[in-house]
């Protein structure tokens, strides 16, 4: 799939005694529909 990296949430939450930096990706509905288009 064609997910786009939108950003990274630096030191967003604390887990296992360390700060975590989750990454946020997006996929537009129109791009998803193109991938799953059935004729």
Distance from chain centroid for Cα 25: 2
Contacts 24+ apart (CB under 8 A), 1-8: 1/27, 1/31, 1/32, 1/35, 2/27, 2/31, 2/35, 3/27
> Any bridge partners for residue 26, and if so which?
4
Per the listing, tokens 């950003």 go with: 7
pLDDT score, position 27: 96
Q: Where are the domains of the chain?
A: 4-35
Its pTM stands at 0.64
pLDDT of 1-39, one tens digit each? 689 999 999 999 999 999 999 999 999 999 898 888 765
- Predicted local confidence at residue 23, as pLDDT: 96
């Amino acid at each position: 799939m064609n997910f786009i990296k939108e950003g990274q949430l630096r030191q967003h939450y604390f887990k296992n005694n360390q700060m975590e930096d989750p990454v946020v990706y997006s996929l537009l509905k129109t791009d998803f529909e193109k991938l799953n288009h059935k004729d």
